[in-house]
């Protein structure tokens, strides 16, 4: 039983994380290409999605490979370099949180843009989005600066200093990553839906067409964000609670079976957590109609670039000329 649990843990660390890295490489690249298209890049909400994608880049490309090496192949670069040990976890905590907080800001932006109050709608602008992204990034960088001080590799393991700090760090991670962001996403998502229905009731008939456009866009985005909230909650809570559980029970005497079970749960929770940062493209594709349209247009533009219209006409003319030659040859024979 214990050997089976340990084998499953190794499989998750060796294979599942590698698969997630592949999903992240493809998905984040496509996210960037879609969000930077001319029709979307001037939108304030898209600006937040792009910022979240960039944060996920750092999580996937900087921290996930080292996790694969340490858990799957017992090679931890953090044990050989104290600087790398500190900055790996600093980037890990900071940008995992930032990716979720940028989605929170996207839901707040949709709430502002759908409000009947002009003062609120003024906040749904590209300039405001850029400023808010910079401020949020600075706050998170400062908030997790304690990681640079209290993470060490003196015992041959790159980890937090044992004691009260580990509890403090795990609680901060649980609250700032797994609890507050999903709550705020849900709150402002439902407030956006409320604003849309309110606009339907109070809007004059002369602006009905504009309201229909706002309603359709807001409903599509609200639907997309709703699934994002559900997905974020399901993928972030297990890992944060697992870290807190390990900290609170670190001094308990555990059997080999319990240790194997805890290790398996840790690997599963960590893999699920990384899915939040590698699979956002697939969530947006399945739930976002606007995103799918732009994705299809992007592939069409790529096809036109590599296969222009005159090339198609030339191919058709060559085929027709060949057909005529074959027909003449048959007629002569």
Tell me the C-alpha distance between 7 and 12, whole Å: 9
Contact assessment for residue 294 and residue 37, using Cβ atoms and an 8 Å cutoff: yes
Position with higher pLDDT, 200 vs 36:
36
Mean pLDDT of the chain: 81
Average pLDDT over residues 89-104: 93
> Which stretch, 24-33, 199-208, 296-305, has highest mean pLDDT?
24-33
Give DSSP secondary structure letters for 256-317.
HHHHHHHHHHHHHHHHHHHHHHHSHHHHHHHH-HHHHHHHHHHHHHHHHHHS-HHHHHHHHH
pLDDT attached to residue 332: 45
Among 21-35, 79-93, 121-135, 294-308, which is the least confidently predicted range? 294-308
> What does the pLDDT average to over 115-123?
80
User: What integer pLDDT is reported at residue 80 of this predicted model?
Assistant: 86
Percent of the chain with pLDDT over 70: 84
Q: What is the pLDDT of residues 150-208, one digit of tens each?
A: 999 877 788 888 888 988 988 888 888 888 888 898 888 788 878 777 766 655 554 54
Closest CA to 43 of 100, 113, 99: 113
Confidence of residue 212 (pLDDT cuts 50, 70, 90): very low
What pLDDT score was predicted for residue 323?
56
User: What's the CA gap between 189 and 226, in Å, rounded?
Assistant: 7
Report whether pLDDT(313) > 70.
no
Q: What pLDDT does residue 328 have? A: 53
Structure-model confidence comparison of residues 222 and 87, the more confident one: 87
Using DSSP's 3-state secondary structure scheme, residue 156 falls into coil
Average pLDDT for 310-328: 53
Sign of the four-CA dihedral 189, 286, 27, 41? negative
pLDDT for the residue 233: 80
Q: What is the pTM of this model?
A: 0.82
Q: What is the three-class DSSP state of 173?
A: helix
| Token output for 36 | 């930077």
Give the model's pLDDT for residue 29.
92
**Beta strand pairing call for 159-160 and 151-152:** antiparallel
Name the pLDDT band for 130 (thresholds 50, 70, 90). very high
Phi-psi region of 253 (alpha: psi -120 to 50; beta: other; left: phi over 0): beta
Task: Calculate mean pLDDT across residues 79-84.
Answer: 88
Please give the pLDDT value at position 216: 60
Residue with the larger pLDDT of the pair 261 and 240: 261
Asked if pLDDT for residue 320 goes beyond 70, the answer is no
The pLDDT assigned to 204 comes to 53
Give the pLDDT score at 71. 80
Interior CA angle at 157 toward 250 and 68, to 5°?
Answer: 100
Q: Is the pLDDT of residue 45 over 80?
A: yes
Closest CA to 104 of 175, 189, 32: 189
Domain boundaries along the sequence of the chain = 2-287
Rg (CA), the chain: 25
Query: Cβ of 303: how many Cβ atoms within 10 Å?
Result: 10
- pLDDT-based confidence at residue 291 (cuts at 50, 70, 90): confident
Cα of 265 vs its chain's centroid, Å: 22
pLDDT at 188: 87
Determine the CATH number of domain 2-287: 1.20.1070.10
Q: What pLDDT is attached to residue 329?
A: 52
For residue 65, give every residue at least 6 positions away whose Cβ sits within 8 Å of its Cβ, in sequence order, or none. Answer: 21
**Could you tell me what percent of the chain has a pLDDT over 90?**
24
The mean per-residue pLDDT over the stretch 279-301 comes to 83
Which residues are within 8 A (CB) of 242 and not within 5 positions of it... i.e. 6 or more apart? 265, 266, 269, 270
From residue 212, alpha-carbon distances to 1, 135, 206 in Å are: 60, 34, 12
């Amino acid at each position: 039983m214990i050997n089976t649990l340990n084998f499953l843990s190794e499989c998750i660390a060796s294979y599942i994380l590698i698969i997630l890295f592949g999903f992240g490489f493809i998905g984040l690249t496509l996210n960037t290409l879609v969000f930077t298209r001319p029709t979307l890049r001037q939108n304030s909400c898209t600006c937040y999605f792009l910022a979240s994608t960039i944060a996920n880049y750092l999580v996937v490309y900087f921290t996930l490979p080292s996790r694969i090496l340490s858990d799957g192949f017992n090679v931890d670069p953090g044990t050989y370099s104290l600087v790398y040990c500190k900055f790996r976890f600093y980037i890990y905590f900071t940008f995992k949180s930032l990716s979720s907080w940028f989605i929170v800001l996207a839901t707040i932006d949709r709430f502002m843009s759908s409000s009947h109050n002009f003062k609120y709608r003024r906040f749904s602008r590209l300039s405001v989005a850029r400023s808010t992204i910079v401020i949020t990034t600075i706050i998170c960088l400062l908030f997790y600066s304690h990681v640079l001080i209290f993470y060490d590799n003196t015992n041959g393991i790159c980890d937090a200093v044992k004691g009260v700090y580990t509890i403090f760090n795990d609680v901060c991670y649980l609250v700032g990553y797994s609890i507050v962001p999903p709550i705020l996403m849900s709150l402002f998502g439902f407030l956006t839906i409320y604003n849309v229905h309110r606009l339907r009731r109070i809007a004059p008939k002369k602006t009905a067409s504009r309201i229909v456009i706002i309603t359709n866009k807001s409903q599509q985005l609200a639907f997309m964000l709703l699934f994002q909230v559900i997905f974020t909650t399901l993928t972030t809570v297990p890992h944060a609670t697992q870290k807190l559980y390990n900290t609170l029970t670190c001094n308990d005497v555990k059997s080999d079976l319990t240790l194997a079970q805890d290790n398996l749960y840790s690997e599963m929770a960590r893999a699920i957590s990384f899915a939040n940062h590698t699979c956002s493209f697939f969530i947006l594709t399945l739930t976002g109609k606007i995103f799918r349209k732009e994705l299809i247009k992007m592939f069409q533009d790529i096809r036109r670039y590599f296969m222009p219209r005159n090339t198609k006409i030339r191919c058709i003319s060559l085929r027709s000329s060949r057909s005529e030659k074959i027909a003449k040859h048959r007629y002569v024979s």
